[in-house]
Amino acid sequence: LSISPSSRILASGSRDKTIKLWRLDSGELLHTFEGRSLWSNTGHQDRISALAFSRDGRMLISSSHDGTVKLWDLSDQALLSTLPGHGWDVSAIALDLESDLLASGGSDGSIQLWDAATDQLLANLTQHQDRVSALVIDPQHNVLVSGSYDKTICFWNLSTDQVIHVLKGHVDRVSALSLTPDGAILISGSWDKTIKFWDVQHQEQLRVFSAHRDRINCLAMHPTGQLFASGSEDSTIKIWDLKIGDLQGSDRTAFADNRLCILRHAWGVNAIAFSGDGQWLVSGSADETIKIWQTA
């Protein structure tokens, strides 16, 4: 899932190889990018793994288990280019909205850096020993953070393309990463069912939550930096107060009061995203539904 900077358009990608564009406020389906078939030779050939909008919202970037990253022009729903750099599944992407730097991570443990404006491959980063499952860029500090099935989190200096720190602490696959807006705190989710908080400057673990009854699949930061959400294979989404470490909100939609907030799907939650205006939380699930929750 990805939400446009205007908070008007939602993009969703699926195991059925399609990418769909929706009106966020009404749920209206606007367009479908079909997977590759006899009728279309531009789409992906395997499941969609990640999506990201450009800063102006005119371009959508998608990655897939077919080993490619594709760039789409949303003004005419046309394929702009295909980046074929990974020989195996592409499992994660991150886009720096300030510089058009695109990072893609593969099942082979490699990370590739691209200029999204020119499609030029800038660097190939190798450190992880297993699938790269999560990527996040901190433009303020010129740092890329990567999480992997090898249970580690790496910090990369984007000026030198070198690893500057490796965090170890999870006892199972790292599946999701999120940074606070100021870049001071990194949040990581894992198949070990925990969420860990890390002091980025000192590279120290601040605290750990035993957050869910099953593996954590996704994290999302509220634009205020005061709340974040976690989605799990246990079919729940939990909303957390970042300051006090408690669940906040109601069991329906809003983040009012200081009560437990657990949102539910029928099956595991695979993706979640807050809108840039903070008014919406969107969740996608293996139950083949997308739910839009009003948060304000």
| CA–CA separation, 207 and 213 (whole Å) | 18
> What pLDDT sits at residue 254?
35
Give, rounded to a whole angstrom, the gap between the first and last alpha carbons of the chain: 20
Helix, strand, coil shares, percent, the chain, to 5: 0, 50, 50
> What pLDDT sits at residue 42?
86
CATH 2.40.10.480 fits 1-84, yes or no: yes
202: left (phi over 0), alpha (psi -120 to 50) or beta: alpha
- Residues 236-252 have pLDDT tens digits of 999 988 765 444 443 33
What is the enclosing helix (H) or strand (E) of 207? strand 204-210
Give the predicted TM-score (pTM) of the model: 0.92
> What pLDDT sits at residue 39?
66
Task: State the amino acid at position 36 in one-letter form.
Answer: R
> What pLDDT sits at residue 86?
82
| CA–CA separation, 30 and 168 (whole Å) | 43
> What pLDDT sits at residue 38?
58
Here the contacts of 48-51 (C-beta below 8 Å, separation 24 or greater) are: 48/13, 48/14, 48/15, 48/17, 48/18, 48/19, 49/13, 49/89, 49/90, 49/91, 49/92, 50/13, 50/90, 50/91, 50/92, 50/93, 51/1, 51/2, 51/11, 51/12, 51/13, 51/19, 51/93
Residue 236, helix vs strand vs coil: strand
CA of residue 49 relative to chain centroid, distance: 9
Per-residue pLDDT of the chain (296 residues; tens, 9 = 90+): 999 999 999 999 999 999 999 999 999 999 999 998 756 678 999 999 999 999 999 999 999 999 999 999 999 999 999 998 787 899 999 999 889 999 999 999 999 999 999 999 999 999 999 999 999 999 999 999 999 999 999 999 999 999 999 999 999 999 999 999 999 999 999 999 999 999 999 999 998 988 899 999 999 999 999 899 999 999 999 998 876 544 444 333 333 333 348 999 999 999 999 999 999 999 999 999 999 999 87
Residue 40 CB neighbour total at 10 angstroms = 13
Residue 114, helix vs strand vs coil: strand
